[in-house]
Amino acid sequence: MKFIHTSDWHIGRQLHNQSLLDDQAFVLEQIIALAAEHKVDAVIVAGDIYDRSIPPANAVALLDDVLNRLVQDLGLQVIMIAGNHDGHERLGFAAKQMAASGLYIVGPLSADIHPITLSSTSGDVVFYPLPYAEPATVRQVFECEASSHEMAMDVLLEKVRQHDSQGLPKVVISHCFLDGGSESESERPLSIGGADKISPKLFTEFDYVALGHLHGPQYKGAEHVRYSGSILKYSFSEQHQHKSVTLVELGAQTPIDIRLLPLTSLRDVRILEGELDTLLAQGKTDIKREDYLMVRLLDKHAILDAMGKLRAIYPNVLHLERTGLMAGQQQVALSRDHIKKGEMDMFCDFFSQVSGESLTQAQQAVMDDLLTKLHNEERQA
């Protein structure tokens, strides 16, 4: 049995108000191509299919297209579970009618854990898709005590342990936060204060564990207890991550084989740091200048329409930080005199940017008078 493990597609997500649908379509296209190239039997998506419980219509249309390609065109089996971002009822609609085609979507948690046995020429495997569930949901569905995420997960995993797979390998699919996992800024915490953490030890006994939630690819506790990571960088904190899907091969007789298949994004997500003139000059020969950028400007003086100037070269600057200016401002003491001086400096910068010339001494004197007068009026008011 050979399958691709992926997760955290977050279809419909935006990055700083920029739609990523084209980027998502581009990378999902690669997953379809990789599935074909490696002749996999199945694709497993471990939750956060959509970014929101009510995804935009074009996100629904994109997922529909991807599933048609995988299931109808390539004849693959696909198992998806709902993550903490998904709307469980919506995602699970008509799931029973899809199963006959080899598409298994598990939305709301149910008391039957519905193991799915998939067949392949190299042996069969039993998959246990466990959708994301709050401890309160687990308590309600299984009528049990489970105050923490870990206790709730143990209730679910006990069902998996008890199920007789007839000697076939057991693969658990889950969307949760393993203790010690490294986080990115784009994950929405499952719970406040660390109550969402689950010991990786709970999972090590299974043959493979396909996890979703953390956006960086990683394993915890054992090499076969894995996060595939998201398909795109969904925050600038992920700039140094390498996104991939996980290719897994396992069978009753064969030792497990795990490989990462790298994904290429249409536009990278990265941080540029430097002075404006340097960045603008570099940009002219930067073949990746259409990447999604956060720019940290080190210039210490005011700049008129810095964003506009940057976007003329780098069209997808999404966020601008005036690191240099902030550093300068932090040094300014809060006395009235200092603030006045700050305004004068700001105006000098502004004037020279607009006119291309520096203020003359006479002009400076007029400006200084004006500022003093304004501050006096302010004090009297």
Binding mask 37-56 for a second copy (x = CB under 8 A): ----------------xx--
Map residue 296 onto helix, strand or coil: strand
Kindly indicate which of the ranges 82-90, 235-243, 271-279, 351-359 contains the residues binding a second copy, using the contact rule CB under 8 A.
82-90
Map residue 252 onto helix, strand or coil: coil
The answer to whether residue 101 forms part of the interface with a second copy (CB under 8 A) is: yes
Positions in 233-262 near a second copy (CB under 8 A): none
User: Considering only residues 12, 47, 83, 92, which one is a binding residue for a second copy as defined by CB under 8 A?
Assistant: 92
Are the C-beta atoms of residues 175 and 213 closer than 8 Å to each other? yes
Closest approach, Cβ 107 to a second copy, in A, equals: 9
The answer to whether residue 353 forms part of the interface with a second copy (CB under 8 A) is: no
The answer to whether residue 111 forms part of the interface with a second copy (CB under 8 A) is: no
User: Considering only residues 98, 151, 298, 371, which one is a binding residue for a second copy as defined by CB under 8 A?
Assistant: 98
On the CB side of 60, how many CA atoms lie within 13 Å of its CA? Answer: 10
- Cα–Cα distance list, 102 to 96, 146, 163, 221, 226 (Å): 11, 33, 22, 32, 24
The answer to whether residue 110 forms part of the interface with a second copy (CB under 8 A) is: no
Closest approach, Cβ 78 to a second copy, in A, equals: 9
Kindly indicate which of the ranges 13-21, 95-103, 159-167, 209-217 contains the residues binding a second copy, using the contact rule CB under 8 A.
95-103
The answer to whether residue 114 forms part of the interface with a second copy (CB under 8 A) is: no
User: Considering only residues 16, 93, 188, 304, which one is a binding residue for a second copy as defined by CB under 8 A?
Assistant: 93
Nearest CB to a second copy, comparing residues 112 and 164: 112
Question: Rounded to an integer, what distance in angstroms lies between the CA atom of residue 144 and that of residue 151?
Answer: 10
The answer to whether residue 136 forms part of the interface with a second copy (CB under 8 A) is: no
Question: Rounded to an integer, what distance in angstroms lies between the CA atom of residue 314 and that of residue 293?
Answer: 8
Helix (H) or strand (E) holding 208: strand 208-212
User: Considering only residues 52, 90, 270, 296, which one is a binding residue for a second copy as defined by CB under 8 A?
Assistant: 90
Map residue 206 onto helix, strand or coil: coil
- Cα–Cα distance list, 260 to 4, 186, 227, 229 (Å): 10, 22, 11, 11
The answer to whether residue 348 forms part of the interface with a second copy (CB under 8 A) is: no
Are the C-beta atoms of residues 160 and 169 closer than 8 Å to each other? no
Closest approach, Cβ 75 to a second copy, in A, equals: 12
Sequential DSSP letters for 127-189: EEEE----HHHHHHHHT----SHHHHHHHHHHHHHHS--TT--EEEEEE-EETTPPP-TTSPP
Closest approach, Cβ 104 to a second copy, in A, equals: 10
Task: Identify the DSSP state of 90.
Answer: H
Q: Which residues bind a second copy (CB under 8 A)?
A: 53-54, 57-58, 60-61, 63-64, 67-68, 71-72, 87, 89-90, 92-103, 105
